[in-house]
Structure 1
């Protein structure tokens, strides 16, 4: 959307802004505080409505009455909904943790779990599915009841389901997170039963989406084939994890989420074609409206899509009537309407980001573009600079509050990538529609979109590689509020010429001097590194140099593909002859696709226990898809490289023959690595029984470095620590985890032994490197922060 397309008078039309802010505020009160505070606000609005009649001045009185009416309606609506949820039979069952059977309809396709969720657990094998309830059976009888619930389901067994399918589900109900109008969250471990076919339009939409995915895979490279469905319908399931990380660092993640930008591109293209064909305002608006409706069906009725559709519908209505578009009233009206219809949007990050970005385009971009044009900058260039700058400035506090980071390259990256997103999106939508008619024509359109996609990918790749591309910032509400205050102060101060010159000088010094010095003083990877414990959150991910350039063995891959991919990128690893998975729990194997993607990989080594079964299947399927061989390992085997020797020490005894998933931790592969920096004992999650087996077998466990078992849990034997006698103990653990890791008992025992303790939650990536005749520990000092949502 061009910044100067907003009439300046529209920017000053603030009549609906108070009503929108009040609607949002009372909705938040109801969602976070419950139905009682919302009911009190509704009653208070009714009382104040009577008092408002005495206000002098017709304009002020009418404005106040309008705000109070909308506030009362919003508060009453959320109070009724919140009360219904609190008394819902499924909520009652959730309070007791009961098993329930639901008859429900999928509201949207299951989406892989990203980050911590219920139970603070991160696992790639789980997906989230929102459902509309038809009935609930708690064991005491079936109750026909409406409402919504969130299901935590196994990805492999649910991935083929689409929105609109009705099914029966059984699982354990738990209370949902606060701020959501959900009856409960239900933990499901089985596939659904009695599944009905989806509505015809949902089936058609899914077939169209699959047509785009298959055509993209046939024509484009892996990264571009994953990006195009993301631009068109928000489907990023096949995007390589390292690309996701690059987009995040570069501030381009919003391109892969269906929002108002996608809708504006599609509708804009239709409007342009109809106007060029000579159609008037009303036919053009009808055509664009039909395109909008079709796009909503294609992308799925997600909250972000509906949010964009409401904005677009109001805009098209204004166009059809021939009225001058007023951007700020349109935004305010869409906020009010959406919150009245779907109060749950008030607490969603996407809604806040969408509103903030649009407000920035409405309020700041036209002013900045006009100021630059007045100083001789051409209109097109001025708008191209003002739009991403305004959007980034107003959304930066929200992004910082969520991620704990502030991107310094986002404006430049969006400026370079933005112009090519529109043609790629239009070509992708056209290919999606034409795929059922002509596969060849669809393939040609996707091929034409290839160069644009590669350009966007290159921008993300190079922008994320810039030294100091992002820096840490306090997360949470306080961090976001602090950045917002600083941004407002900066806007006020920078109105002066001297202040702008000072800022330009500071930026120049930082770019030319500070960042290069920082990266020269603390280079990464450190010279001569032998072992790096990657900061992958609550899990294990270790990288061992083989002595060859850019080649390393990976021991476990962490819970998050993005974090593992970023660690390998920082170490510049291009070849991985072996990925060794100590055991098959999600916090050790879920990052496997990131390790295998885009690198030469030889084998994936696993232990004797193929449990959990889903994980064993996923590991084998992932390895097979990347051309890697699955290699079983057992105690006594030795593997060699020029600068690395691995000796498999365990599991031993009965644990080497176990078939029980309950023994997964104790069946961990225990490996001693001999490196130029000394011996390193890698223990997976082995606990007391497994440690006892090793000690009883008389295995030589001595090592200079110990990777403490199970993230420093209290189930580590003092006898094991005495047998190892490490100088350095590395604990791979997630910041703010809910498991109490590492245990104060283990930390105390190591401290009394004089062991130097290094933790990834405090130091970030930890490198072990040789230094003369001794050993050195080098800290990266960039720990991953715990999830805030």
Structure 2
């Protein structure tokens, strides 16, 4: 069964990631190879035939599902940009996402009927609804009617189109009673911890039912660094704990025999309803059921067979799981626990109490099995994950059970429910402490390449550790020495290994889809221009540069991808001042900057064209915005972009132009205000957006061009139309998404860019 599961997974992957011709060639070659290998032995022939049949079935279902999703009538209407009226059932909880210029509410709709372009069609399709943050939010399971315009989806494997709603949805039928009941439990769970501190108030629902909407992004990053992310999502562990608790109560109440199976089944169904019927929840329910099965007699062998069979069924029912990172991590973690943990537990059990040996072996096996994939996704390997999971393990169960009890009891009598919720929040307070302190360790995680060679080396190392681990762990001396080496590796700050390069003048930090720049201004001192979207990312970058003092932090404008990381840039450093553009828009970004500046003990100050200042060897001149910019009121995203502070920096004999997100109109104005301006290094405006004034950019004659951009962003940045003209003129282009941090140095009087990757 595990081999059949792997065959189904590979077949679906092949259909998802390759063209039809390549897929046909792969399948034909596989069939020929299998037939050749199976000629002599009937058993082998049957096995190979079964594997090929399952792989072909998964590939066929995946191809059919993709075709049906991408080319149904809804997708056709989306290609035409049709205005439509859609009737369907709300298939996910509405949640708020931050857009480039404004927040939006996003939810999934299972379409039953669509009217547009003079026709009404009844069909089954999924669309993603985008609405303004001020729009009404329909309840999960409700039947609604929505008016809007269909547009093509970026990823058409899961949804047929995006629906940009033009008004509030009209509810024509309330959710069924089970959805209303599940919603009541979720709300009661939140109410039971409503009086607790914000992080605890957010984490208890995340731990019980995966409701992580209120978890602070910085805390989420700490959980990622320490390998605790699985606690923020619905996982098999959640279900195992909840259903296991119900079984204990049932036994205490005298339930025996097959009735316990009924209790377990009811618990699984209730858990899925409470956590929502998303694919990730269904996957977690299956993995949790396998975990329960593993607890029984001969459980390991039954669970392995169940794992393989579950993969086959899940991939056939929902082929999109084959390319889901969450699905892969769940399967790998479950497989690691079933295959590796028993041997590791027995080896440690020679000199440790069995309960402690099992407590160490289970998270270690799960983490080891997932390590190559985690590195491929995040570019790092956590060194504290096993210890962090071991430290929080004693409170995860009580927190989950008490949190659920708090929600259920709140429905009956709120004060009692709040007592249980408070106890749960005390438990998660320890989890938060472990995550925050673990992430703050000097080498909590190490960077790892995401290329094929790096990942192949890591995978080979993982396999070697899995095979050799039990032998090493049998001996207490060897185990303690290895543990001591790991502790030293985590606590000791490693040498920088050539980063940052000596004499760096400017560094563009790799902070994802946003800008964060540092201009050297003396020992451990830098002027910071923008702070990116992620406080931890900019803080790590400045730490690597050794920046302890920030005489001036300049925020070019107030969009989230330039100011949301401000606390990371200023926190823990000596700050002299915060300068901003004159256009105080959008308001949310302004508030964030004002609050962070107050925390640092300074007040923001507006700057405009003509201001000059010097810090250390670096001289700065503000070229834009003009002094009358403040007369323009808040507007759309382009208005804020046009108000970006543009700085000309002279340092080390070089001229650097830092342009924020200024757009073509402002670029043309700069060309008129500063004719003949030429620079050595250019920070390409607006992350390489297609909206550029090509003539002005080329007139700067920059030798090196830096592009601050996030990998796989949704904006199409950087655009070929922005980069190709500069490359044709001989400029060298460097991108943070591909090259990591970008450092400008001087070599022989000429600029040179050194990358961290």
- Structure 1-normalised TM-score? 0.75
CA drift of 1:128 comes to 5.0
Match of residue 292, structure 1, among 268, 293, 296: 268
Verify the 8 A CA contact 1:242 1:566 in the aligned structure 2: no
Verify the 8 A CA contact 2:563 2:592 in the aligned structure 1: no
Verify the 8 A CA contact 2:238 2:288 in the aligned structure 1: no
Verify the 8 A CA contact 2:208 2:400 in the aligned structure 1: yes
CA separation of 1:148 and 1:276: change in aligned 2, threshold 3 A: same
Match of residue 73, structure 2, among 75, 80, 89: 89
Match of residue 234, structure 1, among 192, 202, 210: 210
CA drift of 1:369 comes to 1.0
| 1:257 and 2:233 correspond | yes
CA drift of 1:745 comes to 4.9
Verify the 8 A CA contact 2:442 2:493 in the aligned structure 1: no
Q: Matches of 2:564 and 2:736 in 1, distance apart?
A: 18
| 1:442 and 2:412 correspond | no
Aligned to 2:170: 194
The 5 Å alignment of 1:254-403 reads 254-312=230-288, 326-373=302-349, 375-403=350-378
Comparing 386-395 with 457-466, greater Cα deviation is found at 457-466
User: Which whole-Å deviations, capped at 9, do the CAs of 1:47-100 have from their partners, x for residues lacking one?
Assistant: 99999999987x778867866775676566545544533541123334555555
Q: Matches of 1:647 and 1:229 in 2, distance apart?
A: 50
CA drift of 1:389 comes to 1.4
| 1:652 and 2:626 correspond | yes
- Unaligned stretches of 5+ residues in structure 1: 1-15, 115-120, 784-789
User: Which whole-Å deviations, capped at 9, do the CAs of 1:551-582 have from their partners, x for residues lacking one?
Assistant: x9864343456534655777899999997643
CA drift of 1:365 comes to 0.6
Match of residue 133, structure 2, among 150, 156, 162: 156
Q: Matches of 1:600 and 1:224 in 2, distance apart?
A: 30
CA separation of 1:43 and 1:99: change in aligned 2, threshold 3 A: farther
Aligned to 1:12: none
Q: Matches of 1:200 and 1:603 in 2, distance apart?
A: 57
Aligned to 1:133: 111
| 1:209 and 2:179 correspond | no
Verify the 8 A CA contact 2:185 2:274 in the aligned structure 1: yes
Comparing 87-96 with 64-73, greater Cα deviation is found at 64-73
| 1:107 and 2:91 correspond | yes
Q: Matches of 2:453 and 2:108 in 1, distance apart?
A: 30
Verify the 8 A CA contact 2:300 2:338 in the aligned structure 1: no
Aligned to 1:563: 537
SS of 2:495 mapped into structure 1: helix
SS of 2:513 mapped into structure 1: coil
Aligned to 1:588: 562
Verify the 8 A CA contact 1:647 1:673 in the aligned structure 2: yes
Aligned to 2:8: 23
SS of 1:518 mapped into structure 2: coil
Q: Matches of 2:182 and 2:117 in 1, distance apart?
A: 37
Aligned to 1:460: 435
CA drift of 1:336 comes to 2.6
Match of residue 589, structure 2, among 596, 609, 619: 619
| 1:218 and 2:192 correspond | no
Aligned to 1:8: none
Q: Matches of 1:558 and 1:717 in 2, distance apart?
A: 25
Verify the 8 A CA contact 2:347 2:473 in the aligned structure 1: no
Aligned to 1:635: 608
Comparing 590-599 with 203-212, greater Cα deviation is found at 590-599
User: Which whole-Å deviations, capped at 9, do the CAs of 1:148-201 have from their partners, x for residues lacking one?
Assistant: 2334x25624684442232314234215536x253x231626454324544444
Comparing 342-351 with 159-168, greater Cα deviation is found at 159-168
CA drift of 1:143 comes to 1.4
Q: Matches of 1:570 and 1:403 in 2, distance apart?
A: 18
Aligned length: 742
CA separation of 1:305 and 1:253: change in aligned 2, threshold 3 A: same
Aligned to 1:420: 395
CA drift of 1:382 comes to 1.4
Q: Matches of 1:502 and 1:135 in 2, distance apart?
A: 66
Verify the 8 A CA contact 1:669 1:684 in the aligned structure 2: yes
The 5 Å alignment of 1:689-704 reads 689-694=665-670
Verify the 8 A CA contact 1:548 1:642 in the aligned structure 2: no
CA drift of 1:357 comes to 0.9
Verify the 8 A CA contact 1:234 1:256 in the aligned structure 2: yes
SS of 1:239 mapped into structure 2: coil
Query: Using CA pairs below 8 Å that are at least 6 residues apart, which structure has the higher relative contact order?
Result: 1
RMSD: 5.7
CA separation of 1:516 and 1:133: change in aligned 2, threshold 3 A: same
CA drift of 1:362 comes to 0.9
Verify the 8 A CA contact 1:113 1:122 in the aligned structure 2: no
CA separation of 1:84 and 1:674: change in aligned 2, threshold 3 A: closer
CA separation of 1:408 and 1:159: change in aligned 2, threshold 3 A: farther
Match of residue 444, structure 2, among 469, 475, 485: 469
Q: Matches of 1:322 and 1:497 in 2, distance apart?
A: 27
The 5 Å alignment of 1:442-591 reads 442-475=417-450, 480=455, 482-492=457-467, 512=488, 516=492, 518-519=494-495, 533-542=508-517, 555-560=529-534, 563-564=537-538, 566-567=540-541, 581-585=555-559, 587-589=561-563, 591=565
CA drift of 1:379 comes to 0.9
CA separation of 1:237 and 1:413: change in aligned 2, threshold 3 A: same
Q: Matches of 2:750 and 2:393 in 1, distance apart?
A: 46
| 1:177 and 2:155 correspond | yes
User: Which whole-Å deviations, capped at 9, do the CAs of 1:669-700 have from their partners, x for residues lacking one?
Assistant: 33578999999865322245424545655799
CA drift of 1:259 comes to 1.1
| 1:144 and 2:114 correspond | no
Q: Matches of 2:449 and 2:360 in 1, distance apart?
A: 28
Verify the 8 A CA contact 2:524 2:546 in the aligned structure 1: no
